[in-house]
């Protein structure tokens, strides 16, 4: 009898608290899902399994931010940068723009925006509910660190400019499906628009494409954005997973799969991204392709970027977790080194910056940085039709990158 009582007490102490913990987690997940998924006007099932909710533009999560409670949505920018953002070129005649898979099954109506629905599994894949949709600290490239940085497991191959005031940037980026070794690793290609101190109050606006099983639950290549005002410590998130970025476009869904993709020694497909600061309102706008103005990051979100950027970066990033004691085999870009050139290596072309006169100009003194040349590398060039461009990427682990 005494043993039975002791066993019962043990179950109360060990089993019941565990059940309470599971119940508590379920409640937290449900609360987060309710916050993230606004009631849709219409829902569209994408061929890749995503559900795209068409949410009324005034009901989007962005407006829950404390600084945006009384914000009046700006439905179009006051100014575009002067110049022709995305002209075609002879060399890229075999390069084609991409589309979104969900478009095959419908479009969102006027007055709504497309939002990729967040699932319970999306949240449970994160290390914690608080960390859901966020980058880890030190996931940025710092070409010239003032002091040695601890190894963050993030590796980059980038081109960059610094030393002036920048009011935007653009690039055309061809799109691939790099192999990612571990579920918690990722591979991405993006632009960074930066201001502030790298180690404590970095302001960053980011946009590009990525493959991340941890974020999306699959290996699809997806359009993404990110922002932070404190070096990824507490503020900001991917896409529309927190309040901040205000979307006005009803055709393009952040976080959605993009298709078709470039293939080695075959057709090449690309995305074009322009981010610029509206000279009148001060908001940072994003355009996708030649005619899709996506929306904006309100100036009130930022400290340093409320004025201008001090550095622009373009390039690739991977996570090298060395889970098996060796360098990861996660690929950057196409998974091939820059030397292989067009149709084989990944590229950024028609790279430009926006100057203080709201004009698109070619950057001067374009620098390069790669954390491990033998794993991933970058080579810059220029041509009359591609402007400033570079090839970048690599396979990760190889005989020279053990």
In a domain, 27, yes or no: no
Asked if residue 136 lies in contact with residue 233, where contact means CB atoms within 8 angstroms, the answer is no
Q: pTM for the whole thing?
A: 0.90
Asked, for residue 12, whether it belongs to a domain, the answer is no
Catalytic status, residue 317 = yes
Q: For strands 51-56 and 346-354, give the pairing.
A: unpaired
Predicted pLDDT at 360: 97
Per-residue pLDDT of the chain (402 residues; tens, 9 = 90+): 555 444 444 444 444 444 444 778 888 889 889 888 999 999 999 999 999 999 999 999 888 888 888 889 999 999 999 985 554 433 344 556 667 889 999 999 999 999 999 999 999 998 888 888 888 766 678 887 765 566 678 999 999 999 999 999 999 999 999 999 999 999 999 999 999 998 889 999 999 999 999 999 999 999 999 999 999 999 999 999 998 999 999 999 999 999 999 999 999 999 999 999 999 999 999 999 988 999 999 999 999 999 999 999 999 999 999 989 999 999 999 999 999 999 999 999 999 999 999 999 999 999 999 999 999 999 999 999 999 999 999 999 999 999
pLDDT per residue as tens digits for the range 231-263: 999 999 999 999 899 999 999 999 999 999 999
Q: From residue 125, how far is each of 30, 144, 185, 218, 298 by CA, in Å?
A: 15, 34, 12, 12, 30
On whether residue 9 sits in a domain, the answer given is no
50 within some domain: yes
Give pLDDT, residue 85. Answer: 55
- Quick check: is 290 in a domain? yes
Cα separation of 332 and 376, whole Å?
A: 7
The SS3 call for residue 249 is coil
pLDDT recorded at residue 90: 34
Active-site residue, from 32, 155, 185, 206: 206
Q: Is residue 323 part of a domain?
A: yes
The CA-atom distances, in angstroms, between 88 and each of 46, 73, 84, 97, 168 are 30, 33, 10, 11, 21
3-state DSSP assignment of residue 42: strand
277 close to 118: Cβ distance less than 8 angstroms: no
- Distance, first Cα to last Cα, the chain: 62
Residue 340 placed within a domain: yes
Q: What is the pLDDT of residue 136?
A: 74
**Torsion angle, CA of 368/370/373/376, rounded to 10 degrees?**
-110
Beta-bridge partner residues of 389 = 381
Do the domain assignments include residue 316? yes
310 and 165 Cβ atoms separated by less than 8 Å = yes
β-strand pairing of 42-45 with 51-56: antiparallel
Residue of 317, 322, 339, 340 with catalytic role: 317
Q: Show Cβ contacts of residue 215 under 8 Å, excluding neighbours closer than 6 positions.
A: 122, 125, 133, 186, 238, 255
Q: Count up the domains in the chain and report the number.
A: 1
Domain that holds residue 129: 37-393
């Amino acid at each position: 009898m005494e043993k039975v009582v002791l066993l019962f007490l043990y179950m109360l102490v060990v089993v019941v608290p565990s059940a309470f913990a599971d119940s508590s987690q379920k409640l937290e997940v449900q609360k987060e899902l309710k916050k993230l998924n606004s009631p849709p006007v219409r829902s569209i099932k994408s061929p890749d399994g995503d559900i795209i909710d068409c949410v009324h533009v005034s009901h989007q999560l962005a407006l829950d931010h404390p600084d945006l409670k009384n914000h009046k949505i700006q439905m179009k920018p006051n100014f575009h940068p002067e110049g022709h953002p995305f002209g075609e070129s002879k060399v890229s005649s075999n390069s084609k723009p991409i589309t979104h898979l969900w478009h095959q099954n419908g479009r969102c109506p006027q007055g709504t925006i497309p939002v990729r629905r967040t699932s319970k599994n999306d949240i449970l894949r994160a290390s914690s509910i608080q960390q859901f949709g966020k980058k880890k600290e030190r996931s940025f490239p710092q070409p010239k660190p003032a002091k040695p940085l601890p190894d963050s497991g993030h590796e980059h191959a980038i081109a960059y400019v610094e030393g002036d005031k920048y009011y935007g940037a653009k690039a055309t980026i061809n799109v691939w499906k790099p192999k990612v070794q571990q579920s918690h690793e990722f591979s991405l290609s993006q632009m960074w628009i930066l201001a502030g101190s790298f180690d404590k109050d970095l302001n960053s606006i980011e946009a590009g494409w990525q493959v991340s099983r941890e974020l999306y639950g699959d290996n699809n290549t997806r359009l993404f954005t990110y922002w932070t005002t404190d070096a990824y410590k507490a503020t900001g998130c991917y896409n529309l997973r927190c309040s901040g970025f205000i979307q006005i476009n009803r055709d393009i869904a952040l976080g959605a799969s993009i298709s078709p993709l470039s293939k080695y020694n075959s057709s090449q497909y690309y995305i074009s991204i322009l981010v610029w600061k509206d000279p009148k309102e001060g908001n940072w706008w994003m355009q996708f392709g030649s005619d899709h103005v996506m929306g904006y990051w309100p100036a009130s979100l930022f400290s340093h970027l409320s004025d201008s950027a001090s550095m622009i970066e373009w390039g690739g990033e991977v996570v090298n977790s060395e889970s098996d004691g060796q360098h990861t085999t996660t690929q950057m870009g196409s998974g091939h080194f820059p030397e292989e050139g067009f149709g084989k290596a990944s590229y950024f072309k028609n790279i430009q910056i926006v100057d203080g006169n709201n004009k698109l100009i070619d950057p001067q003194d374009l620098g390069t940085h790669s954390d491990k040349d033998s794993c991933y590398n970058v080579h810059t060039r220029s041509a009359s039709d591609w402007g400033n461009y570079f090839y970048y990427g690599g396979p990760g682990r190889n005989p020279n990158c053990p």
